[in-house]
Amino acid sequence: MATQTGITIAGPNAPYTVVDNIPRPTPGPKQALVKSLFVGINPVEPFMQHSGLLIEEFPAIIGSDVTAVVLETGPGCEKLKKGDYVFGCVPIGQNKLSPFQDTFLVVEDWVFKKTDKVSLEGGCTVGSGILTAGLALLDGQYMKLQPAGTSWAGAAINQQSWVIVMGGSGTVGQYAVQIAKLCGYQVLASTSVSKAEIARKAGADATFDNRAPMEEQLGIIERVTGGLFAHVIDASVQAFELSVKALDTISKEKFKYFSTTDDWSEMSVPETISLYRVQLGQLGRFTTDLAKHTNEKVAEMIALFEGHFEAGGLRPLESYQVLDGVGWEKVIEAIDDFEAGKFSQKPIVKVHEE
Ligand SMILES: NC(=O)c1ccc[n+]([C@@H]2O[C@H](COP(=O)([O-])OP(=O)(O)OC[C@H]3O[C@@H](n4cnc5c(N)ncnc54)[C@H](OP(=O)(O)O)[C@@H]3O)[C@@H](O)[C@H]2O)c1
């Protein structure tokens, strides 16, 4: 049996260990065996390592955002062939599908095929951010994103209203800004003062200080939007109260939508507001209706987003940091530094030369 190197975790809160005896998987139908090239670090990695949650088997191999190259395809692959580059966020917690090892399996419908519009490093910033933002807005709030190159009369109507993105400087937030703009809306984003420009570059029309007193933030929301907003996404997991107050007391719309990336805190909203909590971790699980729905929705969104990356309407984040050094020890160091709050931008680690 061919074996390979990677990082394993023996159990909840066990240390990351670099090993060389991981079995190399074989691609099944509609899957490809790929070699990890770059990985992006996300909050979900330390969360999984400490809690053991979302992990299906121990010793566990984890990881989420990745860029990789296809080595071999399984039966029925139509989109991918040997030598193609791919990027995206894997279904987390499943050893054979996880990128913290030399090679792993991707499901071709759940991975982006890379073109020259996206760099190898930039590809690592896309997956979890865009899929989370996409679920929050397109699934949770029924926003319509037309295929690239299609004109749509509804865009003119949307232009008259605003989408509010709490945390518009973060990974999920920047993609939420981009998607809302592509759907035709004006976007108001909350950020810390020093990061307002990041949200502006992603396309936000206006920003406000996410650390200002709540009454001040509500005042700005009212002044900028005039109450013409029905959609709020909290991509910061810090703005539940503000979001609900804004929708409840400022929005003049009849139907109101609140999506959040916080799928763990207890929360309830007034019945005039539709609540959607993103659970990207359901991807690839098949065991519940939500998982099956997520699998279908992700495949649908990836096909749509690939067209928009190619057309230039969507862009990978500019705010990321490629760390010095190559390999699994560097990944472990990056996760530790990430947890210690040492990065102001998303850290990307090279794990193999091509
Ligand atoms: N449920 C799911 O399926 C799912 C999927 C993906 C992510 N998530 C969660 O979603 C969150 C965002 O992920 P991410 O990758 O986008 O993280 P990120 O890049 O670190 O972004 C965090 C955002 O939160 C803002 N923020 C931080 N502290 C804040 C505070 N005290 N008040 C207001 N805003 C604050 C940041 O703004 P400034 O830095 O400008 O202040 C930034 O915009 C994480 O908690 C992650 O675990 C959940």
Q: What is the pLDDT of residues 44-61, one digit of tens each?
A: 999 999 999 999 999 999
| pLDDT band, residue 353 (cuts 50/70/90) | confident
State which fold the 3-126+316-350 domain adopts. Answer: Quinone Oxidoreductase; Chain A, domain 1 (3.90.180)
**Residue 2: its pLDDT value, please?**
94
Q: Which atom of ligand 1 is nearest to the CA of 194?
A: 40
**Residue 237: its pLDDT value, please?**
97
Q: CA-based diameter of the chain, in Å?
A: 65
- Res 278 pLDDT > 80: yes
Please state, in angstroms and rounded to a whole number, the distance separating the CA atoms of residues 281 and 339.
20
Sign of CA dihedral 73, 77, 78, 84: negative
| pLDDT band, residue 153 (cuts 50/70/90) | confident
| pLDDT band, residue 170 (cuts 50/70/90) | very high
And the tokens for 63?
A: 């990881």
Three-class HEC string of the chain: CCEEEEEEECCCCCCEEEEEEEECCCCCCCEEEEEEEEEECCCHHHHHHHHCCCCCCCCECCCCEEEEEEEEECCCCCCCCCCCEEEEECCCCCHHHCCCECEEEEEHHHCEECCCCCCHHHHCCCHHHHHHHHHHHHHCCCCCCCCCCCCCCHHHHHCCCEEEEECCCCHHHHHHHHHHHHCCCEEEEEECHHHHHHHHHHCCCEEEECCCCHHHHHHHHHHHHCCCEEEEEECCCCCHHHHHHHHHHHCCCCCEEEEECCCCCCCCCCCCEEEEECCHHHCCCCCCHHHHHHHHHHHHHHHHHHHHHHHCCCCCCCCEEEEEEECHHHHHHHHHHHHCCCCCCEEEEECCCC
**Residue 29: its pLDDT value, please?**
98
Distance 157 CA to ligand 1 centre (A): 30
| pLDDT band, residue 94 (cuts 50/70/90) | very high
Contact present, 192 and 209 (Cβ < 8 Å) = yes
pLDDT digits (tens, 9 = 90+) for 223-240: 999 999 999 999 999 999
End-to-end Cα separation, the chain, in angstroms: 24
- Res 154 pLDDT > 90: no
| pLDDT band, residue 160 (cuts 50/70/90) | confident
Residues lining ligand 1, CB < 6 A?
42-43, 128-129, 132, 167, 169-173, 191-192, 195, 210, 235-239, 261, 263, 278-281
- Res 108 pLDDT > 90: yes
Distance 166 CA to ligand 1 centre (A): 9
Contacts of 273 (CB under 8 A, 6+ apart): 244, 247, 248, 256, 257, 258
User: Which of 132, 97, 183, 148 is closest to 297 using CA atoms?
Assistant: 132
Out of 198, 241, 261, 335, mutate this one to test ligand 1's pocket (max ligand atoms within 8 Å of CB): namely: 261
Distance 199 CA to ligand 1 centre (A): 13
Say how many residues make up the chain: 354
Distance 200 CA to ligand 1 centre (A): 17
Please state, in angstroms and rounded to a whole number, the distance separating the CA atoms of residues 332 and 347.
12
- Report, as an integer, the average pLDDT of 274-294: 96
Distance 163 CA to ligand 1 centre (A): 17
Q: Which atom of ligand 1 is nearest to the CA of 211?
A: 32
- Res 157 pLDDT > 80: no
- Report, as an integer, the average pLDDT of 83-93: 98
pLDDT digits (tens, 9 = 90+) for 306-335: 999 999 999 999 889 999 999 999 999 999
Out of 236, 285, 290, mutate this one to test ligand 1's pocket (max ligand atoms within 8 Å of CB): namely: 236
Q: Which atom of ligand 1 is nearest to the CA of 167?
A: 43
| pLDDT band, residue 23 (cuts 50/70/90) | very high
Out of 126, 197, 210, 318, mutate this one to test ligand 1's pocket (max ligand atoms within 8 Å of CB): namely: 210
| pLDDT band, residue 70 (cuts 50/70/90) | very high
User: Which of 7, 235, 41, 204 is closest to 121 using CA atoms?
Assistant: 41
Radius of gyration of the chain (CA): 20
| pLDDT band, residue 159 (cuts 50/70/90) | confident
| pLDDT band, residue 69 (cuts 50/70/90) | very high
Q: Whose Cα sits closest to atom 30 in ligand 1?
A: 238
Please state, in angstroms and rounded to a whole number, the distance separating the CA atoms of residues 38 and 279.
24
Domain limits, the chain:
3-126+316-350, 130-282
**Residue 156: its pLDDT value, please?**
76
Q: Whose Cα sits closest to atom 4 in ligand 1?
A: 261
Q: Whose Cα sits closest to atom 35 in ligand 1?
A: 236
**Residue 25: its pLDDT value, please?**
97
User: Which of 261, 278, 280, 265 is closest to 93 using CA atoms?
Assistant: 280
Contact present, 298 and 131 (Cβ < 8 Å) = yes
Distance 167 CA to ligand 1 centre (A): 6
Provide, rounded to the nearest whole percent, the portion of the chain with pLDDT above 70.
100
Q: Which atom of ligand 1 is nearest to the CA of 172?
A: 16
CATH class of domain segment(s) 130-282: alpha beta
Q: Which atom of ligand 1 is nearest to the CA of 210?
A: 33
Out of 89, 172, 293, 321, mutate this one to test ligand 1's pocket (max ligand atoms within 8 Å of CB): namely: 172
Report the interhelical angle of 328-339 vs 44-51 (nearest 10°).
Answer: 90
Range with lowest mean pLDDT among 83-92, 110-119, 145-154, 325-334: 145-154
**Residue 158: its pLDDT value, please?**
82
Q: Whose Cα sits closest to atom 19 in ligand 1?
A: 170
User: Could you give the dihedral angle defined by the CA atoms of residues 293, 295, 301 and 303, in that order, rounded to the nearest 10 degrees?
Assistant: -130
- The average confidence (pLDDT) of the chain is 96
- Res 155 pLDDT > 90: no
And the tokens for 49?
A: 């390592």
Distance 198 CA to ligand 1 centre (A): 14
And the tokens for 297?
A: 């929705």
**Residue 142: its pLDDT value, please?**
95
Contact present, 221 and 188 (Cβ < 8 Å) = yes
Distance 176 CA to ligand 1 centre (A): 12
